[in-house]
Amino acid sequence: MNTEALFSALDRQRIETPSWGYGNSGTRFKTFAAPGAARDVYEKIEDAAEVHRLSGIAPSVALHIPWDAVSDYGELRAFAESRGVTLGAINPNVFQDDRYRLGSVTHPDPAVREQALAHLLACVEILRQTGSRDLSLWFADGTNYAGQDDLRARKRRLRDALARVHDALPDGARLLLEYKLFEPAFYATDAFDWGAALAHCVAVGERAQVLVDLGHHAPGVNIEQIVAFLLDEGRLGGFHFNARRYADDDLIVGTANPFELFCIYAELVSAETAADPLVRDTARAVAYMIDQSHNIEPKVEAMLQSVLNCQEAYAKALLIDRERLEEAQQAGDVLEAHRTLTDAFRTDVRPLLAEWRRARGLPEDPIRAHRVSGYAERVARERGVAAASGGFPVHS
Ligand code: LRH
Ligand code: MN
Ligand code: MN
């Protein structure tokens, strides 16, 4: 690929950052309060705008409802736009109400299921007002002990809720179903893997697609193969990028998993130019989102690092010599094929990305620019140190 084509591909790259990555968050053991951490959705949007200003590729911010609930979403949308970003995916939260002890949409009591469904439908309405495309669904639902509930009945309850949400979506909107192997349920999780998510999506309709969160698999699972499979089925809707070593660690993407991230981008780059239009369109519509929750890292710098790690992985994937790769694959030349891929992975793309930034009036080294900008010091002064509770932020 020549530099011009490479640069225009880089121009099209978009990474959405999550509002919840800017507030105080941590582990279930302790959340360390970070000076200047965003205290409300407006401050989260301001931080997201800062990441976009420095990187040029993070123009939207995902919301989690009710963590980011406001009375007027039109006003919130205008606020975001005044800061140079847009509101992205809407993530309904159906895991923190006391009534969800046995689940939300799969709860054995129909009254609790209706409460959860009502929240999902309210979030569809919010999505209309924010102008967002994607409703991103993750369910903590599951059981802790064999025999606790009827597994098939729970599957049907989930299916029913998804169908009702799907049918309520406005034109152009999508339902993204995020699966996760375990946690907080430790025996059986209702949306437990990509296959179950795919089956639900296919059953409920065209606008339901699977969301792959990199932290939601068993150790050693080949995520890029899942990505390839879902792309080929036309059902890959989006990502939650992060890094993990043990479980759903929610660390900065590209830290523990740089080769995995590269291989994922390699599949996406290849699908973007696939002969099959379904695969091509699916790849081009993928929502790239970060889902991280930082405990000991400075929030804005951590998010900036994440976005830049995605850019590096994507740039390397663009450098893969596709012709040479295909030739080696066809010839059964195992190691030449592997080397073709790893040659791209080993390329130092930092000078090239600095040039791309220079040409676009962006700081050549966004991390350095952030560090010398005084942004972190200013928000620490203005916002102070917000009290942090344990675990995920609890909406008051
Ligand atoms: C669950 C999850 C899901 C939630 C987010 C806060 O582990 O990945 O996407 O919405 O974390
Ligand atoms: Mn996630
Ligand atoms: Mn997660």
Residue 248 CA to ligand 3 centre (angstroms): 5
Give the distance (Å) from ligand 2 centre to CA of residue 178. Answer: 7
Expressed as residue numbers, the domain containing 279 is: 3-383
More confident residue, 6 or 388: 6
Contact present, 161 and 105 (Cβ < 8 Å)? yes
Hey, is 60 helix, strand or coil? Answer: strand
Q: Is the CB of 240 under 6 A from ligand 1?
A: yes
Q: Confirm whether 351 is domain-assigned.
A: yes
pLDDT band at 351 (very low <50, low <70, confident <90, very high): very high
Tell me whether residue 394 is in a domain: no
The string of DSSP codes covering 166-229 is HHHPPTT-EEEEEP-SSSS-SSEESS-SHHHHHHHHHHH-TTEEEEEETTSS-TT--HHHHHHH
Instruction: Provide the domain count of the chain.
Output: 1
Instruction: Please name the residue that has the structure tokens 């050693």.
Output: 220
End-to-end CA, the chain: 51
Element holding 161 (H helix, E strand)? helix 151-168
pLDDT at 26: 87
**Confidence at 27, pLDDT banded by 50, 70, 90:** confident
Instruction: For residue 303, tell me if it sits in a domain.
Output: yes
pLDDT tens profile 139-155: 999 999 999 999 999 99
So what's the pLDDT on residue 394?
56
269-291: per-residue pLDDT in tens?
Answer: 999 999 999 999 999 999 999 99
From the CA of 213, give the closest atom in ligand 1: 8
Q: What separation in Å is there between the alpha carbon of 90 and the centre of ligand 2?
A: 12
For ligand 1, what atom is nearest to the CA of residue 178? Answer: 9
The pLDDT of 203-231, averaged and rounded, is: 98
| Substitution candidate for ligand 1 out of 178, 251, 290, 292 with most atoms within 8 A of CB | 178
Atom of ligand 1 nearest to the CA of 248: 7
Cα(36) to centroid(ligand 3), Å: 24
pLDDT higher than threshold 70 for residue 393 = no
Task: Using pLDDT thresholds of 50, 70 and 90, give the confidence band for residue 396.
Answer: very low
Instruction: Give residue-wise pLDDT tens across range 257-270.
Output: 999 999 999 999 99
Could you give the angle at which helices 194-204 and 151-168 cross, rounded to 10 degrees? 50
Question: How far is residue 39's CA from residue 319's CA, in Å, rounded to a whole number?
Answer: 41
CATH number at residue 204: 3.20.20.150
The alpha carbon of residue 329 and the mean position of all alpha carbons in its chain are separated, in whole angstroms, by: 32
Whole-structure pTM value: 0.97
Out of 95, 240, 241, 250, give the residue to mutate to test ligand 1, the one with the largest number of ligand atoms within 8 Å of its CB. Answer: 240
ipTM: 0.99
**In sequence order, what are the residues at sequence separation of 6 or more whose Cβ sits closer than 8 angstroms to the Cβ of residue 362?**
54, 55, 56
Cα–Cα nearest to 289, from 16, 47, 10: 16
Does residue 349 sit within a domain?
yes
Assigned domain for 392 exists? no
Query: Within a domain: residue 396?
Result: no
- The closest-lying atom of ligand 1 relative to the alpha carbon of residue 183 is 7
User: Does ligand 1 lie within 6 Å of residue 178's CB atom?
Assistant: yes
Instruction: Tell how many helices (H) and how many strands (E) occur in the chain.
Output: 15, 10
What the block records as the tokens of 251 is 């660390």
